[in-house]
């Protein structure tokens, strides 16, 4: 799979910090915080693979000189999550076989072998009477397993998944002490506020959203009036509402999503999750009966065989649950309780229903996490905004958002476009996201294989030519030290190369031929993977079986030149492709103001009359923006105005050139009653150096569109007085006419 940019950056960060900590004496701790739905397990899998691939970094100096650092791993997780994690990692390592994934019963010789991960359930191992903890005749318990691994000189890396669930208890701390890991990695979406970590790696929620891995936000009671009082959300219309009203709202939204997925040509059947409160009395049983009755009698959704649209996932009761996670599964509604919160992955789940008797009024990540994943993370967000959000419907009369956990997920305000809006159909653009230029992305493998074919590499290399020996310099004596300047001293003594030496030589060979790319671990890994793929496809040699033979063929004097030639050609093509892709802009032919926009509690509602979005929610970026809105509100000629955003295809942008093509998201779009459209960007304290390319981009855009019959005008807009008591003027010329700190050739904004 293609890793996302933020995933690759996090893996790099983990690798750098883990290698540094492994070089110190004593046990160290690394905390890895990454939001729910960001692919924590996949990032950890790739990080562990790269840690093992990076052989030169896995050395430590012992008494006898340079020795290899041998690593074994333990992966622990709460409840049954370790099973899911093992399946994901085993899947990930299927091709590379970088690590062996085992349970206790799979261990050979009752020990953790090199590059082996032992998976176990944290709660069970935490119990003193556990079979893997207590002594037994076979000497097959955790302490003995660890003892044998350490006798083999193996350092243990302990991964604690969902660490916030269990890593801080006294029993857990005792168990960590018994394991005695060289490095402990705590993986969590919500780390404890006070930790004693030596290093930390954080993935930001915004980066995960930008890459389309998770939904943009969760909207609470869409189409109902919400407001906040004393930090709590109050539901006006639903506070006295019934279960039927809430279910009706959720299923109506489901039908809307079904239609929009069909329009997008996407085969996803959106799933409604109905969460029942944990049973305390017979009251909870009656809620379930009522819910099932409403679904069956009003909506024809039931568990009956001829229907099968309802699934049940309760303790000891699983109905129609098989394959419910598949994107096109027929189940429309799933009834469940809190128990499935952890680790359950169903990207088509998009609507969550909570009832008044629900046991907790606190929104946590586990509550909203179930409906945050995008159904097609490789594609990311959809063109239709409604599909990029999760929806929660509830008749709870107040819900508290846990401040540091879920606040960035929950959207509590929805603004809708006015019904009198008529399409303006502007040409807009947004950037296609690509990898950084300084590193190699998975695209390199594709280019290398193509270049190998064009070069005829398969027929040019000699499979029988091998590099077996290394030459070292022995007994060299310089009579004249000054004469050494510029001299080339050649090794004259051959020694037999070990597998480890071969690995070092191969890494050195790749690093040496990476220029102009930075020779960091990930790029080295990309080149090696490309070469391994060539041997697999063209010569039917799989590196998992004959790795040493492959490396010897590559490094032999007869063959190495050919690999260097293909690498050079591939790097040239890759650079050209990346430069082309980096500045790639995607056009939106008929952009219009979005039908709906959602906002978090960082935004405030402002009373305005001419905003095309109702109500108007805002988080002011500058005083200039605020004063410009006040100016627009007073003008009779203004039909409406729209405060633009600055992300993806949702908002309006014009292209500009600043050594590469970029989008310029202007601050305001203003529609006049005579049909003209003003495009304005508010600025305060402006210089040509800062605004030049944007000025030219906007000027060219307006000229080009007006040639096609549009009626656009606008530019950079400022007030002539720093206290906003002067004239509003705008600059509609090119940057060559722009004079710093002078309004001589600006146009008065008289609308």
Do the domain assignments include residue 416?
no
Q: What is the mean pLDDT of residues 609-625?
A: 93
- My answer on whether 336 and 403 are in the same domain is yes
Do the domain assignments include residue 141?
yes
* Residue 109 to residue 132: CA distance in whole angstroms: 15
When pLDDT is cut at 50, 70 and 90, the band that residue 21 belongs to is: very high
When pLDDT is cut at 50, 70 and 90, the band that residue 561 belongs to is: very high
Write down the pLDDT at residue 690.
Answer: 58
pLDDT above 90: residue 200:
yes
Q: What is the mean pLDDT of residues 453-466?
A: 91
* Residue 320 to residue 330: CA distance in whole angstroms: 10
* Residue 176 to residue 168: CA distance in whole angstroms: 10
Do the domain assignments include residue 433?
no
Structure tokens belonging to residue 539: 């010569």
Do the domain assignments include residue 428?
no
Question: Last residue of a domain, which of 209, 239, 255?
Answer: 209
- My answer on whether 558 and 594 are in the same domain is no
Do the domain assignments include residue 625?
yes
Whole-model pTM: value is 0.71
* Residue 435 to residue 569: CA distance in whole angstroms: 20
Among candidate residues 9, 22, 23, the one with its CA nearest the CA of residue 202? 9
Mean pLDDT of the chain: 81
Q: Show the 3-state SS of 116-146.
A: EEEEEEHHHHHCCCCCCCCCCCCCCCHHHHH
- Residue range of the domain that includes 40: 5-209
- My answer on whether 366 and 465 are in the same domain is no
Number of domains in the chain: 4
pLDDT above 60: residue 186:
yes
When pLDDT is cut at 50, 70 and 90, the band that residue 63 belongs to is: very low
pLDDT above 60: residue 529:
yes
Write down the pLDDT at residue 456.
Answer: 94
Sequence-distant (≥ 6) Cβ neighbours of residue 360 within 8 angstroms: none
When pLDDT is cut at 50, 70 and 90, the band that residue 53 belongs to is: confident
Question: What number of helices (H) and strands (E) belong to the chain?
Answer: 19, 38
Do the domain assignments include residue 124?
yes
Measure the CA angle with vertex 301, ends 296 and 304; round to 5°: 85
Write down the pLDDT at residue 285.
Answer: 74
460 in Cβ contact with 562 (< 8 Å): yes
* Proportion of the chain above pLDDT 70, given as a percent: 78
Do the domain assignments include residue 73?
yes
* Proportion of the chain above pLDDT 90, given as a percent: 35
pLDDT above 50: residue 60:
no
Write down the pLDDT at residue 404.
Answer: 47
pLDDT above 60: residue 725:
yes
pLDDT tens for 351-363 read 998 875 545 555 5
Burial (CB count <10 Å: 0-12, 13-18, 19+), residue 289: exposed
pLDDT tens for 642-660 read 999 988 888 999 999 877 7
DSSP of 257-321, one letter per residue? HHHHHHHHT-----EEEEEPPPPSSHHHHHHHHHHHHHHHHHH---SSTTT--EEEEETTEEES-
Beta-bridge mates of residue 697 = none
Q: What is the mean pLDDT of residues 628-650?
A: 93
Q: What is the mean pLDDT of residues 375-381?
A: 87
Sheet holding 28-33, edge to edge: 100-102, 116-121, 70-77, 154-161, 183-188, 28-33, 199-202
Question: Last residue of a domain, which of 193, 209, 225?
Answer: 209
SS3 235: strand
pLDDT above 60: residue 134:
no
CB contact burial 700-713 (16+ within 10 A = b; e otherwise): ebbeebeeeebebb
- My answer on whether 574 and 614 are in the same domain is no
Measure the CA angle with vertex 332, ends 226 and 279; round to 5°: 70
pLDDT tens for 284-294 read 678 888 899 99
Q: What is the mean pLDDT of residues 619-638?
A: 93
More confident site: 539 or 128: 539
| CATH number, domain with residue 49 | 3.40.50.300
Work out whether the CA dihedral 170, 175, 179, 184 comes out positive or negative.
Answer: negative
* Residue 616 to residue 629: CA distance in whole angstroms: 11
SS3 56: helix
When pLDDT is cut at 50, 70 and 90, the band that residue 62 belongs to is: very low
23 in Cβ contact with 178 (< 8 Å): no
More confident site: 443 or 567: 567
| CATH number, domain with residue 249 | 3.40.50
Picking from 99-108, 120-129, 328-337, 445-454, which range would have the lowest pLDDT averaged per residue?
120-129
pLDDT above 80: residue 451:
yes
When pLDDT is cut at 50, 70 and 90, the band that residue 685 belongs to is: low
- My answer on whether 495 and 636 are in the same domain is no
Structure tokens belonging to residue 680: 């304005």
- My answer on whether 302 and 350 are in the same domain is yes
Name the packing angle between helices 142-151 and 170-179 (round to 10°).
30
Cα separations in angstroms, 361 against 232, 241, 243, 367? 10, 16, 16, 11
Residues in the chain: 751
* Residue 145 to residue 111: CA distance in whole angstroms: 4
Write down the pLDDT at residue 485.
Answer: 45
When pLDDT is cut at 50, 70 and 90, the band that residue 77 belongs to is: confident
Burial (CB count <10 Å: 0-12, 13-18, 19+), residue 216: buried
Q: What is the mean pLDDT of residues 431-440?
A: 65
Other C-beta atoms within 10 Å of 279: how many? 15
167 in Cβ contact with 159 (< 8 Å): no
* Residue 607 to residue 615: CA distance in whole angstroms: 8
Do the domain assignments include residue 429?
no
pLDDT above 50: residue 473:
no
Write down the pLDDT at residue 648.
Answer: 82
Sequence-distant (≥ 6) Cβ neighbours of residue 500 within 8 angstroms: 55, 68
* Residue 578 to residue 568: CA distance in whole angstroms: 15
318 in Cβ contact with 220 (< 8 Å): no
Write down the pLDDT at residue 563.
Answer: 95
- My answer on whether 105 and 171 are in the same domain is yes
Picking from 258-267, 712-721, 736-745, which range would have the lowest pLDDT averaged per residue?
736-745
More confident site: 123 or 640: 640
What does residue 167 show for φ and ψ, rounded to 5 degrees?
A: -75, -15
Q: What is the mean pLDDT of residues 704-733?
A: 92
When pLDDT is cut at 50, 70 and 90, the band that residue 59 belongs to is: very low
CA-CA-CA-CA dihedral for 517, 521, 522, 526, to nearest 10? 80
* Residue 18 to residue 28: CA distance in whole angstroms: 9
115 in Cβ contact with 160 (< 8 Å): no
pLDDT above 50: residue 166:
yes
Structure tokens belonging to residue 298: 């009003």
Write down the pLDDT at residue 476.
Answer: 41
SS3 658: coil
- My answer on whether 571 and 685 are in the same domain is no
Write down the pLDDT at residue 237.
Answer: 54
SS3 539: helix
Structure tokens belonging to residue 489: 């001293």
pLDDT above 70: residue 724:
yes
Q: What is the mean pLDDT of residues 617-633?
A: 93
pLDDT above 70: residue 477:
no
Question: Last residue of a domain, which of 183, 209, 235?
Answer: 209
- My answer on whether 225 and 257 are in the same domain is yes
pLDDT tens for 219-276 read 888 866 655 555 555 555 554 446 788 899 899 999 999 999 999 999 999 999 998 8
DSSP of 312-353, one letter per residue? EEETTEEES-TTTTSTT-S--EEEE-GGGTTT---TTEEEEE
Q: What is the mean pLDDT of residues 562-586?
A: 83
pLDDT above 90: residue 443:
no
- My answer on whether 502 and 573 are in the same domain is yes
* Residue 508 to residue 198: CA distance in whole angstroms: 31
- My answer on whether 36 and 158 are in the same domain is yes
Beta-bridge mates of residue 116 = 100
Is the peptide bond prior to 516 cis by the omega test (within 30 degrees of 0)? yes
- My answer on whether 493 and 597 are in the same domain is no
461 in Cβ contact with 562 (< 8 Å): yes
């Amino acid at each position: 799979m293609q890793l996302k940019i933020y995933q690759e950056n996090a893996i790099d960060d983990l690798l750098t910090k883990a290698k540094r900590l492994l070089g110190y004496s004593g046990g160290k701790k690394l905390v890895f915080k990454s939001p729910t739905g960001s692919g924590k397990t996949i990032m950890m899998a790739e990080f562990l693979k790269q840690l093992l691939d990076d052989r030169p970094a896995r050395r430590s100096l012992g008494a006898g000189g340079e020795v290899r650092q041998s690593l074994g791993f333990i992966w622990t997780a709460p409840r049954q999550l370790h099973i899911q994690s093992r399946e994901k990692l085993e899947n990930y390592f299927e091709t590379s076989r970088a690590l062996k994934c085992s349970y206790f019963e799979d261990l050979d010789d009752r020990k953790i072998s090199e590059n082996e991960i032992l998976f176990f359930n944290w709660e069970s191992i935490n119990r003193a009477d556990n079979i893997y903890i207590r002594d037994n005749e076979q000497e097959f318990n955790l302490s003995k397993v660890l003892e044998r691994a350490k006798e083999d000189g193996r350092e243990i890396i302990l991964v604690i998944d969902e660490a916030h669930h269990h890593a801080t208890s006294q029993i857990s701390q005792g168990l960590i002490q018994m394991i005695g890991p060289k490095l402990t990695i705590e993986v969590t979406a919500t780390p404890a506020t006070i930790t004693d970590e030596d290093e930390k790696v954080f993935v930001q929620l915004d980066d995960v959203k930008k890459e389309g891995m998770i939904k943009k936000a969760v909207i609470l009671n869409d189409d109902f009036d919400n407001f906040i009082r004393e930090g709590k959300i109050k539901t006006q219309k639903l506070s006295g509402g019934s279960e039927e009203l809430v279910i009706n709202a959720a299923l109506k939204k489901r039908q809307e999503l079904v239609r929009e997925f069909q329009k997008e040509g996407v085969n996803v059947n959106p799933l409604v999750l109905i969460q029942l409160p944990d049973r305390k009395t017979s009251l909870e049983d009656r809620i379930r009966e009522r819910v099932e009755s409403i679904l069956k009698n009003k909506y024809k959704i039931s568990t009956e065989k001829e229907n099968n649209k309802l699934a049940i996932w309760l303790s000891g009761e699983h109905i129609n649950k098989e394959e419910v996670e598949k994107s096109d599964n027929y189940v429309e509604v799933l009834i469940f309780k809190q128990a499935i919160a952890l680790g359950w992955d169903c990207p088509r789940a998009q609507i969550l229903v909570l009832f008044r008797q629900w046991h907790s009024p606190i929104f946590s990540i586990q509550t909203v996490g179930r409906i945050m994943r995008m159904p097609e993370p490789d594609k990311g967000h959809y063109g239709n905004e409604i599909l990029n959000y999760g929806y929660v419907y509830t008749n709870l009369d107040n819900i508290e958002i846990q401040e540091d956990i879920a606040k960035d997920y929950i959207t509590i305000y929805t603004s809708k476009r006015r019904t009198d809006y008529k399409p303006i159909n502007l040409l807009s653009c947004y950037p296609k996201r690509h990898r950084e230029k300084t590193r190699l992305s998975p695209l390199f493998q594709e280019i290398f294989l193509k270049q190998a074919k064009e070069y005829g590499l398969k027929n040019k290399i000699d499979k029988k030519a091998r590099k077996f020996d290394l030459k070292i310099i022995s007994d060299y004596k310089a009579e004249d030290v000054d004469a050494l300047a510029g001299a080339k001293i050649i090794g004259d003594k051959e020694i037999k190369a070990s597998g480890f030496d071969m690995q070092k030589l191969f890494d050195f060979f790749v690093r040496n031929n990476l220029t102009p790319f930075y020779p960091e671990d990930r790029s080295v890994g990309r080149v090696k993977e490309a070469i391994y793929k060539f041997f697999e496809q063209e010569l039917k040699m799989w590196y998992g079986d004959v790795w040493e033979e492959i490396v010897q063929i590559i490094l032999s004097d007869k063959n190495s030149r050919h690999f260097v030639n293909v690498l050079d050609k591939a790097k040239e093509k890759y650079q050209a492709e990346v430069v082309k892709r980096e500045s790639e802009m995607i056009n939106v032919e008929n952009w219009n103001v979005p039908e709906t926009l959602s906002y978090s509690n960082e935004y405030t509602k402002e009373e305005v009359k001419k905003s095309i979005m109702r109500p108007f929610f805002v988080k002011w970026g500058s005083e200039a923006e605020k004063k410009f809105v006040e100016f627009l509100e007073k003008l009779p000629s203004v039909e409406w105005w729209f405060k633009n955003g600055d992300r993806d295809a949702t908002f309006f942008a014009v292209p500009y050139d600043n050594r590469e093509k970029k989008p310029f998201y202007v601050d305001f779009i203003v529609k006049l009653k005579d049909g003209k459209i003003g495009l304005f960007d508010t600025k305060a304290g402006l210089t040509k150096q800062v605004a030049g390319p944007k000025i030219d981009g906007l000027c060219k855009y307006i000229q080009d569109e007006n040639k096609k019959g549009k009626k656009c005008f606008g530019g950079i807009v400022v007030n002539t007085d720093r206290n906003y008591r002067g004239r509003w003027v705008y600059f509609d010329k090119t940057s060559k006419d722009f004079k710093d700190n002078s309004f001589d050739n600006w146009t008065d904004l008289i609308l």
